[in-house]
Chain A
Amino acid sequence: MSEFEEITEGRIIFNDTLDITMAASYFERFSQLLNEQKTITLNGENIERVDGAGLQLLAALFKSAEFLQINITWQGCSDTLKRSAELSGLTGSLAID
Chain B
Amino acid sequence: MSIDLSQFKQTFLEESDEGLDVLESGLLALDSGTADDEVIHAVFRAAHSIKGGAGTFSLTEIAGFTHIMETLLDEMRDGRREISNEAINVLLTSVDVLRELMDSARDDVPPQMGRVNEVQAQLEGVLNSASASGSDDTLQIQNGADNSTADDELAGWLIKFHPHEHMLRTGNDTVRIFKELASLGDLENCADLSALPEFEHMDPELSYLSWTIQLKNNKQQGATDKAAIEEIFEWVEDDCELSIEPLRLSSTSNEAASQDDVPPAEQSTVAVQANEQEAVDNVTPIATKADAKPALKASAKKKKAAEGGSIRVGTDKIDSLINMVGELVITQSMLSQMGDDFSMKKIEALREGLAQLERNTRELQESVMRIRMLPISFSFQRFPRLVHDLSQKMNKKIELKMVGEQTELDKTVMEKIGDPLVHLVRNSLDHGIEDPQTRLAAGKNEVGTITLNAYHQGGFIMIEISDDGAGLPKDKLLQKAIEKGLVSEQENLPDEKIYDLIFHPGFSTADQVSDISGRGVGMDVVRKNIKELGGNVDVTTEEGRGTTFTIRLPLTLAILDGQLVKVGNETYIIPLVSIIESLEIETDNINTIAGTAEVYKMRDEYIPLVRLYDVFDVVPGTTRLQDCLLVVVEGDGGKAGILVDDLLSQQQVVIKSLETNYKRIQGVSGATILGDGTVALILDMSGLLTLAKEIEPAQSYG
Q: Interface on A for B, CB 8 Å cutoff? A: 19-20, 23-24, 26-27, 30-31, 34, 50-53, 55-57, 59-61, 63-64, 84, 87-90, 93
Given A87-B175, A88-B175, check contact A60 B196 (CB 8 Å): yes
Q: What is the predominant secondary structure among interface residues of chain A facing chain B?
A: helix
Contact call A63/B196, Cβ cutoff below 8 A: yes
- Docked Cα-Cα span, A56 to B203, in Å, equals 11
Kindly list 13 other residue pairs between chains A and B, CB separation below 8 angstroms, not including A31-B200, A87-B187, A88-B175. A23-B205, A52-B168, A52-B175, A53-B207, A55-B175, A59-B191, A60-B202, A63-B193, A64-B198, A64-B199, A88-B174, A88-B189, A88-B191
- Collect the chain B residues with CB atoms within 8 Å of residue A51's CB: 168, 173-176
Contact call B189/A53, Cβ cutoff below 8 A: no
- Docked Cα-Cα span, A27 to B197, in Å, equals 13
Contact call A57/B204, Cβ cutoff below 8 A: yes
Determine if B182 is an interface residue (Cβ-Cβ < 8 Å): yes
Which of B189, B204, B205, B207 is A89 in contact with, Cβ under 8 Å? B189
Contact call B175/A26, Cβ cutoff below 8 A: no
Look across to chain A and name the residue whose beta carbon is closest to the beta carbon of B199. Answer: A64
Restricting to B203-227, which residues have a CB under 8 Å from any CB of A? 204-205, 207-209, 211, 213
Within the complex, the shortest CB–CB distance from A91 to chain B, in Å, comes to 9
Within the complex, the shortest CB–CB distance from A19 to chain B, in Å, comes to 8
- Docked Cα-Cα span, A87 to B190, in Å, equals 9
Total interface residues on B, using CB and 8 Å? Answer: 27
Given A52-B173, A56-B207, check contact A88 B196 (CB 8 Å): no
Look across to chain A and name the residue whose beta carbon is closest to the beta carbon of B197. Answer: A60
Look across to chain B and name the residue whose beta carbon is closest to the beta carbon of A19. Answer: B173
Contact call B182/A61, Cβ cutoff below 8 A: no
- Collect the chain A residues with CB atoms within 8 Å of residue B200's CB: 31
Look across to chain B and name the residue whose beta carbon is closest to the beta carbon of A26. Answer: B204
- Docked Cα-Cα span, A88 to B211, in Å, equals 8
Which of B175, B187, B196 is A59 in contact with, Cβ under 8 Å? B196
Determine if B701 is an interface residue (Cβ-Cβ < 8 Å): no
Restricting to B407-449, which residues have a CB under 8 Å from any CB of A? none
Given A24-B204, A24-B205, check contact A61 B175 (CB 8 Å): no
Contact call A59/B209, Cβ cutoff below 8 A: yes
Determine if B497 is an interface residue (Cβ-Cβ < 8 Å): no
Contact call A30/B191, Cβ cutoff below 8 A: no
Which of B178, B193, B205 is A87 in contact with, Cβ under 8 Å? B178
- Docked Cα-Cα span, A34 to B198, in Å, equals 12
Within the complex, the shortest CB–CB distance from B280 to chain A, in Å, comes to 14
Restricting to B325-356, which residues have a CB under 8 Å from any CB of A? none
- Docked Cα-Cα span, A34 to B11, in Å, equals 51
- Docked Cα-Cα span, A90 to B196, in Å, equals 13
26 A-B pairs with CB atoms under 8 Å apart are A20-B168, A20-B204, A23-B204, A27-B202, A31-B199, A31-B200, A50-B175, A51-B174, A51-B176, A52-B174, A52-B175, A53-B168, A53-B173, A56-B204, A56-B209, A59-B193, A59-B209, A60-B199, A63-B193, A63-B196, A84-B175, A88-B178, A88-B211, A89-B191, A89-B213, A93-B191
- Docked Cα-Cα span, A25 to B53, in Å, equals 40
Contact call B182/A89, Cβ cutoff below 8 A: no
